[in-house]
A and B are shown apart, each in its own frame.
Chain A
Amino acid sequence: MNGAEALIRSMEKEGVKHIFGILGGSIMDVYDVLYDNSSIEHLLCRHEQVAVYAANGYAQATGKTGTCMATSGPGACNLVTGIADAMIDSRPVVAITGQVPTTAIGGDSFQEADIIGITMPITKHNYLVEKIDELPQIVKEAYYIANTGRPGPIVIDLPKDVQRAEIKNYNPPKTVVLDSYDPVYKPHPRQIQLAVKELMNAEQPIILAGGGIIISNASAELVQLAELLGIPITTTSMGKGCIPEEHPLALGLIGMHGNKWSNLAVQNADVIFAIGTRFSDRITGNTQHFAPNAKIIHADIDPSEIGKNVRVDIPIVGDARLVAKGMLEVAKEATKKEAVRLKKHTEWGKKLEHWKKEFKQETRFDSIPIKPQRIIYEVQKIIDKNPKSTIITTEVGRNQLWSMHYLNIRYPRNWMTSGGLGCMGAGFPMAIGAQVARRDCRVLNMAGDGSFQMTMQDLATCTNYDLPIVNVIFDDSSLGNVRMWQALFYNKRYSQTDLNNNPSFEKIADAYGAWGKKVERPGEIAEALQEALKSGKPAIVDIVSDRDENVYPMVPPGGILHKMIE
C-alpha cells in the first residue's frame, strides 16, 4: 500500500463520506486511488475556494467534519480564505493538500508554496507529512482535533513522494491520546451553581446565545433553561436557529444589525448569561459601553475567549450543552423552593414585549423597485411551509444582514453564513456542501449580485451532481453594503461600488443548464421562487431590488449598542 492509499483508507476509517476538491500535479496519486472503489464520493468543484466553503457548509449542516482537497501551490493557496473562514467561525474542516516531493521542498519548485507556514495562524493545527510511517497517526489526529473542543480547520500537507512511498505495516491507530491537547468539556459544578444563583436573583436577566449552542447541539437544553427561569434569549448571527423566533422568549438578533429591543435588553440587563459566543465587535459595539449594568456570566469551551473582549464576572469553561444541561438540573432543584422569586422576570418580559411592539418592522412592501425586505417576506413564506427541511445560506453584504435580521429560522443547522470573516462568495458553496449532506432538504442561498459573482462558476458543480440549490439574488447592481456605508459615513461618495455592467443572470443560469428568472415586481417573487423550487434544477431567481434601501436599525462601527441609526 502506498501513502495515497493509506490516506484514503484512513479517511474511510474516520467516516469520511464526501470530499470536495479539485486536483493537480502534486495530488494525482491520491486521485488515482479514488479512481478505484472507495466508499468516499469525491465532488469535483471548479475552484478550490468553493471546495473549502462546501466542506464548511457540509460541517455546519451535519456537525460532522467536512473534507476538501487541493493540489500544491495555487491549489493550496486558493483554499486559504476558506480555511481562515473555518477558523474564525469554529468549523471542523480537514483540508488535504498535495505538496512537491520532500526532496524539492525549499527549492522554489514548480507549484511549490509553503502552505504550512501560510496557514499556521488560520488553522487549529496543521501537519506536513515528512515520513510515510507518520501518516496514519496524523490523519487520525487531524480528524480528532478538528471536531473536538472548539472545532477548527486542520491542514494535512502531503508531499508527492510520501504519497508514492510504500507503507510497510498499515496499522492505523484506533484512539488518539495527546499529551498537549485535552479540551475541558465538563464545567465546574461550583461555577454552574454560582451562575444559576446569579440568574435567579436577577431582575432583568438575558441569555446571549452564540454559535457554540449550534455546534454542541445545546438548543433544547438552553431553551428549557430559559423557559424554566423565564429568561429571554437573544442570538448572535452564528447562534441563529437555536430557538424559533416566534417563541415568546426569543428576541432574535443582537448587535450592529440586531433588533433594537435585543440591544436595549442587553444594555438594560442586570445579568447576562453568554454562552458559546466570543463577544465579537459586531455584537458588543464599543466594549466600554457594553451592558453597563450587567454582571456577565460567560460560558465557552475555549478558555481564551473568556475575558478576551469583555470583562467577565462568572467564567465557565466547558461544552455548551453540558453547561446548559448542568444549569438546567441545578435550576430545577432551586426553583422548587423559589417559585415566588421568579415572578419578577415577568415584569422584565412585559417591558421587552412592549419594546418588541414599539420597534416592530414591516417586511411586506409593494413598491417598485422591489424593497429587499419584501424578498425576505417571500422567502419566509417558503421556510414556514417546511421549516425543518429548508436550509438558508447567505452570502455577505446586505443580503446577509437582511436575512439575519428578519428571517425566522426554527431549527439549528438550518442557517449558515460566513460570520467572523465575512466572505463574499461563501454562501453558494456552503449551500452546495449542505445540499450534499442533506439531500432531503431544500437549500436557498440568499445572495447579492456582487457576492454571487465570486463563486457562481460552481453552478456547473450543481448541475453535475444534481444539487437543486435556489440562489435568491438581491440584485441592486452594486456592492450594496459598502455602498450603504458610503451613503452613511462617506458623504455618498460611491467609489467603485456600482456594478451596472452585471451579466444577465437568467442567461448565466441557462448557460449552465440551470433554471433562471429575472423578477422586477413584488407580486411575481412568490411565483418565481415556487417555479425555481419545482424545476428540480439549480436555480437563480434574480430579483431587481432597491439599491437605496439601507439596513436599519444599525449601530455604527465602534458605536454604542443602544444608540442605533434608524
Chain B
Amino acid sequence: MAEKYHLISALVENRPGVMQRIAGMFSRRGFNMENLSVGPTENKNYSRITITVSGDEKVLEQVVKQMNKLIPVLKVRELTEGESVRRELALIKVTASRADARTEISQYVEVFRGSIVDISPDAMILEITGDPEKIDAFVRLMQPYGIKELTRTGVTAIHRGFKSVRDSVK
C-alpha cells in the first residue's frame, strides 16, 4: 500500500515525560512523525496530542497499537479527512518594503481570512489559520515576495459531530 499521511489524535495523561515516551517510541521503531501539536483539553488531567504520521496502513496500525501500549496514553484514534476538522496556524514574515507589494499582500490575507499582526518598514508578519493545504497554498503565494521566516504550529484536529476520541474512556 502506498505511503500517505495519517492524522492521529491521542488523549494522554497530563504529566511530565509523556511526550518523551511518545517521541522515543517513534524514533526507536522507525516511525515518521511529520508534525505534531500538544495542548490542554476540557479535562485538566489530560492533554491532547495530534500527530501527522507518514506510512502505509500497516505502519499506521503499528503506530496506533504501540502508542496504546504506553501507559500514560488513554486513547488513540486516526482522524480521517472526512470525519474531522483540521486546523493549523502559521506565522509568516514576508519582505515587503514596496507599497504595491504591501497592498497585494493585504488583499491575499483578506481572501485567506488571515490577519496582519505586525508591520515594520521592511517586513510584515501574517497570521493564517486553516487546514494544512490552505496554508501551503498561502505560503506559495507569498514566496515571490520573499519569506524571511516561517513557523507553523502543526496540525490539531477534532471529530466532527458529537463523536469524540474520549468515547469509551472510562
- Chain A residues close to B by CB (< 8 Å): 116-117, 120-121, 124-125, 128, 145, 178-182, 302-304, 307-308
Chain A residues with Cβ below 8 Å from B73 are: 180
Chain A residues with Cβ below 8 Å from B17 are: 116, 120, 128
Beyond known contacts A120-B20, A120-B24, A304-B68: 11 more, CB 8 A cutoff: A125-B71, A128-B17, A145-B71, A178-B71, A179-B170, A181-B71, A302-B69, A304-B62, A307-B58, A307-B61, A308-B62
Residue among A120, A302, A307 with max Cβ neighbours from chain B (10 Å): A120
Rounded to whole Å, the gap between the CB of B17 and the closest CB of chain A is 7
Known: A303-B68, A304-B62, A304-B65. A121 touches B74 (CB 8 A): no
Instruction: Please measure, in the bound complex, the distance between the C-alpha atom of A303 and the C-alpha atom of B76, giving whole angstroms.
Output: 14
Instruction: Please measure, in the bound complex, the distance between the C-alpha atom of A304 and the C-alpha atom of B69, giving whole angstroms.
Output: 8
* Complex partner residue of B21 from A120, A181, A307, CB under 8 angstroms: A120
Chain B residues with Cβ below 8 Å from A308 are: 62
For residue A116, which residue of chain B has the nearest CB?
B17
Residue among B24, B62, B65, B73 with max Cβ neighbours from chain A (10 Å): B65
For residue A141, which residue of chain B has the nearest CB?
B71
Chain B residues with Cβ below 8 Å from A125 are: 71
Instruction: Please measure, in the bound complex, the distance between the C-alpha atom of A446 and the C-alpha atom of B46, giving whole angstroms.
Output: 50
The yes or no answer to B154 lying at the interface (CB within 8 A) is: no
Instruction: Please measure, in the bound complex, the distance between the C-alpha atom of A302 and the C-alpha atom of B20, giving whole angstroms.
Output: 22
* Complex partner residue of B71 from A180, A302, A307, CB under 8 angstroms: A180
For residue A308, which residue of chain B has the nearest CB?
B62
Chain A residues with Cβ below 8 Å from B25 are: 121
- Chain B residues close to A by CB (< 8 Å): 12-13, 17, 20-21, 24-25, 28, 58, 61-62, 65-66, 68-69, 71-74, 169-170
Task: Return 18 A-B CB contacts under 8 Å, by A number.
Answer: A116-B17, A120-B17, A120-B21, A120-B24, A178-B71, A179-B169, A180-B12, A180-B71, A180-B72, A180-B74, A181-B71, A182-B170, A302-B69, A303-B68, A304-B65, A304-B69, A307-B58, A308-B62
**CB-based contact B28/A121 at 8 Å:** yes
Instruction: Please measure, in the bound complex, the distance between the C-alpha atom of A475 and the C-alpha atom of B138, giving whole angstroms.
Output: 71
Chain B residues with Cβ below 8 Å from A307 are: 58, 61-62
**CB-based contact B71/A124 at 8 Å:** yes
Chain A residues with Cβ below 8 Å from B69 are: 302, 304
Residue among A128, A145, A178, A304 with max Cβ neighbours from chain B (10 Å): A304
In the A-B complex, list the 3 residue pairs whose CB atoms are closest, starting with the nearest: A304-B65, A125-B71, A180-B74
Instruction: Please measure, in the bound complex, the distance between the C-alpha atom of A304 and the C-alpha atom of B25, giving whole angstroms.
Output: 13
For residue B170, which residue of chain A has the nearest CB?
A179
For residue A117, which residue of chain B has the nearest CB?
B20
Instruction: Please measure, in the bound complex, the distance between the C-alpha atom of A34 and the C-alpha atom of B40, giving whole angstroms.
Output: 43
Residue among B66, B71, B73, B169 with max Cβ neighbours from chain A (10 Å): B71
For residue B75, which residue of chain A has the nearest CB?
A180
Chain B residues with Cβ below 8 Å from A180 are: 12-13, 71-74
Rounded to whole Å, the gap between the CB of B16 and the closest CB of chain A is 8
Instruction: Please measure, in the bound complex, the distance between the C-alpha atom of A80 and the C-alpha atom of B68, giving whole angstroms.
Output: 24
Chain A residues with Cβ below 8 Å from B13 are: 179-180
Instruction: Please measure, in the bound complex, the distance between the C-alpha atom of A117 and the C-alpha atom of B28, giving whole angstroms.
Output: 13
Instruction: Please measure, in the bound complex, the distance between the C-alpha atom of A509 and the C-alpha atom of B151, giving whole angstroms.
Output: 67
